[in-house]
């Protein structure tokens, strides 16, 4: 299954094989702005730089996940050129044009110039201190997707949906994602002040100490006769650690096991291949996820292999607004196959696949080229995964809604949604659980 991901590398060849645009005729406004900014067409290297830019515009228009006019991309590129300082070189103009063009697409597509990328990477390695926030840029705003488990950002109270307007008083609007992370990171032990705007419009200043973050992707525990697997992210070893957890449950509980809870709350995703393997652990057959591009040539379906490592035992999956990407793939697959009951809040809705293409001396680009679809054919992007049972405040009496305060608290954190997941398994089914805890 994972070998199929090698096919993604072929996408880079499309950039080399796609036809180049006519450098003058296709985008006259961009051509005029580019060379006027340089003071003429005789600048050394300018012709080759512009030809590269025009060609890449045509290729992005051809490969982007949604239909997009090359002229619209060229206009975004032109605005980037016009915003450049007068003394810019042709190479600088290309960087600014591509940054503006990719910024006009979606929060997950981006271009990073080589020198900027190398500089930020070196600084990130030297700094070492992080806040543990997964963020995206939406409409020019830096929005928190989810804070990582036990991270400084989570302990400071940052939540999914918060907008980070400024760092140490400096606004973030107009920066690339790599530049935002550069502002958020710093030496371990240093402090940073974030200006945060909540979804309700309120603003507050939050001071956080940066730390070296090593969050284990998987933790597991046993509550009575129920195994609980907390998956914080889909990292290179996630499937190995989930397998170990299932083996440990089988060894300790055996036939006495009443079921398993998979906690995917505030899981921002990560490696799609790891998510597919984890979903496969609980399935015997059928589709896990389909990725679809614009023209169908890059579509791929990933299917489960025989062998349910949970041996058919009941499964409850916990999700919330911070569950995204690969976490949504797993929860959607288990829901559609009726292999698990989903409990919590609607997930984030990040259902797109990006292809990262190194561009040598020019840097690298990340382009959204496909979308995720659940086995039932439902698009995840912007829709998210809706749980079978909603748990939260003010949901008592709503159809399939549970008031959070009714859930029994679990552990030192007094985790009530987890308590509801455990209680559902102990109740022996969804109907008796809803009857006891406040269903319709």
DSSP structure class, residue 414 = T
- For 31, 43, 115, 299, 324, the CA distances from 36, given in Å and listed in that order, are 8, 11, 25, 42, 44
Residue 46 tokens read as 């300018």
Q: Is this structure's pTM higher than 0.85?
A: no
What is the dotted CATH code of the domain comprising 116-209? 2.30.42.10
> φ and ψ at 384, to 5 degrees?
75, -175
Residue ranges, CATH 3.90.226.10, the chain: 218-387
Catalytic residues: 325, 336, 350
Handedness of CA 36, 39, 45, 47 (dihedral sign): positive
- The stretches of 2-110 forming alpha helices (DSSP H) are 11-17, 28-38, 46-63, 70-82, 90-103
The pLDDT value recorded for residue 4 is: 40
Handedness of CA 307, 310, 311, 313 (dihedral sign): negative
DSSP structure class, residue 22 = P
Cβ neighbors of 44 (< 8 A, separation 6 or more) are none
- Rounded mean pLDDT for each run of 10 residues along the chain, 440 residues in total: 40 48 68 88 82 92 93 96 87 92 90 71 69 82 84 89 92 81 87 92 92 87 94 93 96 94 92 96 96 84 94 96 94 97 94 86 88 95 93 75 86 84 93 78
CATH number assigned to the domain with residue range 218-387, chosen from the 4 options 3.40.50.300, 3.90.226.10, 3.40.1710.10, 3.30.70.1560: 3.90.226.10
Count of other CB atoms within 10 angstroms of residue 280: 22
11: enclosing H helix or E strand? helix 11-17
Residue ranges, CATH 2.30.42.10, the chain: 116-209
The pLDDT value recorded for residue 117 is: 59
Residue 425 tokens read as 């398994």
């Amino acid at each position: 299954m994972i070998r199929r991901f090698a096919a993604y590398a072929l996408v880079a060849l499309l950039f080399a094989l796609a036809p180049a645009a006519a450098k003058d005729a296709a985008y006259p406004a961009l051509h005029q702005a580019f060379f006027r900014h340089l003071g003429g067409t005789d600048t050394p290297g300018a012709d080759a730089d512009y030809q590269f830019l025009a060609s890449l515009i045509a290729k992005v228009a051809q490969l982007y996940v949604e239909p997009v006019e090359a002229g619209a991309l060229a206009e975004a590129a032109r605005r980037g050129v016009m915003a450049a300082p007068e003394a810019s070189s042709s190479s600088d103009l290309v960087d600014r044009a591509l940054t503006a063009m990719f910024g006009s697409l979606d929060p997950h597509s981006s271009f990073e110039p080589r020198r900027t990328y190398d500089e930020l990477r070196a600084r990130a390695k030297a700094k070492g201190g992080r806040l543990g926030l997964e963020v995206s840029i939406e409409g020019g705003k830096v929005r928190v997707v989810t804070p990582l488990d036990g991270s400084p950002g989570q302990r400071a109270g940052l939540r999914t949906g918060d907008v980070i307007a400024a760092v140490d008083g400096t606004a973030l609007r107009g920066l690339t994602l790599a530049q935002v992370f550069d502002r958020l990171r710093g030496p371990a032990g240093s402090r940073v002040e974030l200006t945060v705007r909540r979804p309700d419009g309120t603003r507050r200043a939050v001071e956080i100490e940066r730390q070296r973050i090593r969050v284990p992707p998987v933790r597991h525990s046993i509550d009575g006769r129920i195994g609980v697997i907390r998956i914080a992210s889909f990292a290179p070893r996630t499937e190995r650690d989930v397998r170990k957890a299932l083996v440990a449950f089988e060894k300790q509980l055996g036939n006495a096991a009443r079921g398993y809870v998979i906690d995917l709350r505030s899981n921002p995703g990560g490696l799609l291949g790891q998510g597919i393997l984890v979903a496969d652990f609980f399935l015997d057959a059928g589709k896990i996820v389909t990725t679809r591009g614009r023209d169908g040539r890059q579509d791929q379906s990933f299917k489960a292999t025989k062998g349910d490592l949970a041996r058919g035992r009941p499964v409850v999956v916990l999700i919330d607004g911070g569950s995204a990407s690969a976490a949504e793939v797993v929860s959607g697959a288990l829901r559609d196959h009726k292999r698990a009951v989903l409990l919590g809040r609607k997930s984030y809705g990040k259902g797109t696949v990006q292809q990262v293409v190194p561009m040598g001396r020019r840097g690298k680009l990340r382009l959204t080229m496909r979308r995720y679809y659940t086995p039932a054919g439902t698009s995840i992007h912007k829709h998210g995964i809706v749980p079978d049972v909603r748990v939260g405040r003010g949901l008592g009496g709503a159809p399939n809604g549970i008031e959070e305060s009714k859930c029994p608290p679990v552990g030192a954190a007094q985790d009530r949604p987890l308590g509801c997941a455990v209680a559902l398994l102990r109740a022996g089914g969804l109907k008796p659980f809803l009857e006891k805890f406040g269903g319709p």
